[in-house]
Copies of this chain bind each other. A is one copy, B any other.
Amino acid sequence: MTTIATLGSHCALQVLKGAKDEGFRTLVVTERKRERFYRRFKFIDDFLVLNRFADITKPNSISFLKKRDAVIIPHGTLISEVGSEEVENELHVPIFGNRNILRWEADRELKEKLTREARLRSPKTFSSPDKIDRLVIAKLPGARGGLGYFLASDAESYRKNLKELQRKGVIGKNTPVFIQEYVVGVPVYFQYFSSILKNELEFFGIDRRYETTVDAIGRIPAEHQKGLLPSYIVVGNSPLVLRESLLEEAYQMGERFVDAVKKLVPPGMIGPFCIEGVYNEDAEFVTFEFSARIVAGTNLYISGSPYFSLIYDEPMSMGRRIALEIKNGIESKSLGKLLT
């Protein structure tokens, strides 16, 4: 009997609750320090307790998971704590979705390649601080939730802010920094589910991130902001719905993304993904990131999203949608299509 497993972090609760609702056995892979936390939830049947997440590739872990016929639902923590290469090459357990794409999310150049292929409008990038001619945001590699990101208006403010963050130890001396145009606009994160069984793209929901301290500065009058250097650490998410006339474009972006993945990263996009960007002053959507797996913003909709209530008659979280797809795969004897 298939067990649905995931790393204890990020969106594990909704994934495992959704799996239980669809009738699966559930398993959390948890770091020892958080075992007690996950023991609180009755819908988790099984525990693989590790010292650190990276140990999931060890033979003992693999055999523990294989014995339980586990399918792993990948999320951001799998990428950031185990590593996309390790997942690709050493995690010898079936993964729901396309394990090859996780690398594309973690690598800035691959990411840009896929974004271009999907014809998603992107911010300008700057190869050197000296070329900065507008407001930019400097980003660090990896999926660590915005830690160390900073703003700059020119080469001088770039160097000043970089030094300040290096001094604080937030950024290492040799950390590569990626400089991107800061598009003035409201952040919107589009959450999709790509069903290869139904050959259909479903639009799940929308969120915006709640980031410290950048979402705090708007509450501080300009005169008290002197010296403030905002940080971009994600601590949560808040819900949004979109103007209906913009929804069609959101579907189209999602479909172009699915097409691009099919072309560049076989066997294509399986399951949840997210396109992340802002609407600029012309109400054009500019994409600055994507996530080719479930995002934590879906935690908003554990009891169902407005958009999924247009499609499903019972409350359907993204976690449950994944489990439903796996159940449909098993019932139609096409589970193999969903796993890599």
Contacts and interface: CB of A to CB of B under 8 A. Distances in A.
A223 B135 CA distance: 11
A299 B221 contact: no
A310 B18 CA distance: 9
Q: What is the copy number of this chain in the assembly?
A: 3
A contact residues, range: 35 or more
A197 interface: no
A296 interface: yes
B296 A302 contact: no
Interface of A: prevailing SS:
mixed
Contacts of A310: 13-14, 17, 41, 43, 302
Contacts of A217: 184, 218-219, 221
B246 A235 contact: yes
A247 B77 CA distance: 15
A333 interface: no
Given A283-B212, A299-B241, A235 B37 contact: no
A244 interface: yes
24 contacts: A10-B244, A13-B247, A17-B309, A37-B251, A43-B310, A135-B220, A145-B243, A182-B220, A184-B213, A184-B216, A187-B216, A212-B278, A217-B218, A221-B225, A221-B228, A221-B229, A235-B243, A235-B246, A236-B243, A237-B240, A238-B238, A302-B307, A303-B309, A309-B315
Interface of A: 9-14, 17, 34, 37, 40-43, 77, 135, 145, 151, 153, 182, 184-188, 206, 210-225, 228-231, 233-248, 251, 278-281, 283, 296, 299-304, 306-307, 309-311, 315
